């Protein structure tokens, strides 16, 4: 059976090599070749014994998901569509800025959480991505963007904010995170890797204990009644439990705050009263707010809050001494903005049988 070495973090690769009679330093060598240098050809791993290279060629591959579409926005944002098999495809977005390059990665084919304002959620859910499929998005993006290991990184920040709920795919997410942080692989700072969650409280605690990185919480509502409607996982882990989990996470977090993401929905969650409620519910949690103008998609019942309403909402939060930013919409001309990622999902939840208005991409059409 052929093994994909991208499925292993450092510990897993060391164990795999030990099973085949190889010493731990060989695993570190291969890890560096694969991730630091982006090499998938065993013959090119020149400081590895030829006998080991031949052994690897017989039993292993370095196989990231294939890119089937690569779109460039007018603002420089770049969106990749990756084929993950079985008729499923996931989207990854690269956002260049003056002081950083951020890659937004997907962790699932679809999403089971069904947040009412999210295009991905309306496509239903098929499966979790493997470690190779998660880290392979970074591996491939580095190649396409012209990564040079001897120069400054093109991708300096990674956010797990693409398709899916990262903490619903916890084991594979943690292994991929370890590769991002490993100095023999991508060597990213914990402060520059962010996991976004809708609030899976037990998984937040495990992430804190096993691989704490920067944390963003998709909040979107200041009370349980409204959040139950917008973010259904709130019915299982209501705001009181979520805020307590955020406080626990901060004990080991690489940043001294949690980012609360808040999509601005006209007439739904954007009033002055909502802003005051938001300040009350998050009191006691060191945080900053990131207000996200809603990005519409076909069939959505929501509209984006007017710019003046977003400004007023931000002013109320900042007046209370909370750092508040409003996310600049990037890549909306190629459907790469926040909440617009859809890809293609063969839904196993049957959610899409009654909802067919969302955008999908035909893989055959993309390839041709």
pLDDT tens by residue, 295-323: 888 888 999 999 999 999 999 999 999 99
Question: pTM value?
Answer: 0.90
The rounded percent of the chain whose pLDDT value lies above 90 is 77
Lowest-pLDDT choice from 47-51, 52-56, 147-151, 248-252: 147-151
| Predicted local distance difference test score (pLDDT) of residue 321 | 97
Better-predicted residue by pLDDT, 184 or 295: 184
* pLDDT greater than 60 at residue 354: no
- Which of helix, strand or coil describes residue 245? helix
Q: By CB neighbour count within 10 A (0-12 exposed, 13-18 middle, 19+ buried), where does 302 fall?
A: buried
| Predicted local distance difference test score (pLDDT) of residue 121 | 72
Task: Give the active site residue among 22, 91, 165, 261.
Answer: 91
Task: Give the active site residue among 19, 277, 338, 365.
Answer: 338
Confidence label for 352 from pLDDT (cuts 50, 70 and 90) = low
Task: Count each helix (H run) and each strand (E run) in the chain, helices first.
Answer: 11, 14
pLDDT tens by residue, 100-133: 999 999 999 988 898 988 877 777 888 999 999 9
| 126, 90 Cβ separation under 8 angstroms | no
**Conformational region of residue 118, where left means phi above 0, alpha means psi within -120 to 50, and beta covers everything else:** beta
Better-predicted residue by pLDDT, 318 or 355: 318
Better-predicted residue by pLDDT, 324 or 112: 324
Question: Rounded to whole angstroms, how far apart are CA atoms 74 and 115?
Answer: 29
Average pLDDT over residues 218-237: 97
Question: Rounded to whole angstroms, how far apart are CA atoms 92 and 163?
Answer: 8
Confidence label for 332 from pLDDT (cuts 50, 70 and 90) = low
The rounded percent of the chain whose pLDDT value lies above 70 is 90
| Predicted local distance difference test score (pLDDT) of residue 351 | 59
Average pLDDT, the chain: 90
| Residue whose token pair is 């390839």 | 367
Confidence label for 252 from pLDDT (cuts 50, 70 and 90) = very high
| Residue whose token pair is 């004990």 | 251
Average pLDDT over residues 249-271: 97
Better-predicted residue by pLDDT, 341 or 10: 10
Query: Catalytic residue at 287?
Result: no
The number of CA neighbours under 13 Å toward the Cβ of 225 is 4
Question: Rounded to whole angstroms, how far apart are CA atoms 216 and 199?
Answer: 10
| Predicted local distance difference test score (pLDDT) of residue 30 | 97
Q: Which helix (H) or strand (E) holds 325?
A: strand 324-326
Confidence label for 152 from pLDDT (cuts 50, 70 and 90) = confident
| Predicted local distance difference test score (pLDDT) of residue 45 | 96
Written as six digits, the tokens of 231 are: 């973010």
| Predicted local distance difference test score (pLDDT) of residue 361 | 34
Confidence label for 340 from pLDDT (cuts 50, 70 and 90) = very low
pLDDT tens by residue, 8-56: 999 999 999 999 999 999 999 999 999 999 999 999 999 999 999 999 9
| Predicted local distance difference test score (pLDDT) of residue 222 | 98
Query: Catalytic residue at 304?
Result: no
- What is the number of other CB atoms lying within 10 angstroms of the CB of residue 99? 6
* pLDDT greater than 60 at residue 338: no
Query: What domains can be seen in the chain, in order of their start residue?
Result: 3-61 (1.10.150.530), 66-367 (3.20.20.70)
């Amino acid at each position: 059976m052929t093994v994909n070495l991208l499925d292993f973090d450092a510990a897993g690769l060391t164990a795999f090599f030990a099973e085949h009679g190889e010493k731990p330093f060989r695993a570190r060598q291969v890890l560096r070749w694969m991730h630091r240098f982006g090499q998938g050809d065993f013959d090119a791993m020149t400081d590895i014994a030829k006998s080991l290279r031949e052994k690897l060629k017989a039993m292993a591959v370095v196989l990231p998901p294939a890119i089937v579409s690569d779109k460039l926005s007018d603002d420089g944002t770049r969106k990749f569509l990756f084929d993950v098999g079985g008729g499923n495809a996931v989207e990854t977005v690269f956002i260049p800025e003056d002081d950083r390059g951020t890659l937004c990665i997907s962790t699932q084919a679809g999403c089971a959480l069904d947040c009412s304002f999210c295009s991905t959620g309306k496509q239903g859910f098929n499966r979790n991505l493997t470690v190779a499929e998660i880290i392979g998005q970074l591996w491939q993006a580095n190649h396409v963007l012209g990564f040079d290991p001897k120069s400054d990184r093109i991708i300096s920040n990674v956010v797990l904010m693409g398709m899916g709920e990262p903490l619903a795919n916890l084991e594979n997410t943690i292994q991929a995170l370890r590769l991002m942080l490993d100095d023999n692989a991508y060597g990213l700072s914990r402060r520059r890797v962010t996991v976004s969650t809708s609030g899976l409280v037990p998984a937040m605690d495990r992430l804190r204990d096993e691989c704490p990185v920067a944390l963003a919480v998709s909040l979107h509502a200041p009370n349980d009644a409204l959040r139950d409607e917008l973010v259904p996982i709130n019915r299982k882990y209501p705001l009181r439990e979520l805020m307590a989990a955020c406080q626990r996470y901060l004990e080991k977090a690489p940043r001294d705050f949690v980012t609360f993401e808040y999509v601005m929905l006209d007439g739904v969650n954007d009033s002055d009263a909502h802003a005051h409620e938001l300040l009350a519910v998050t009191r006691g949690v060191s945080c900053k707010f990131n207000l996200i103008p809603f990005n519409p998609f076909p069939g959505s019942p929501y509209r984006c809050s007017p710019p003046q309403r977003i400004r007023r909402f931000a002013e109320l939060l900042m007046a209370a001494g909370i750092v508040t930013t409003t996310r600049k919409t990037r890549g909306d001309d190629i459907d790469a903005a926040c909440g617009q990622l859809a890809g293609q999902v063969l839904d196993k939840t049957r959610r899409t049988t009654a909802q067919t208005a969302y955008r999908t991409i035909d893989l055959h059409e993309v390839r041709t």
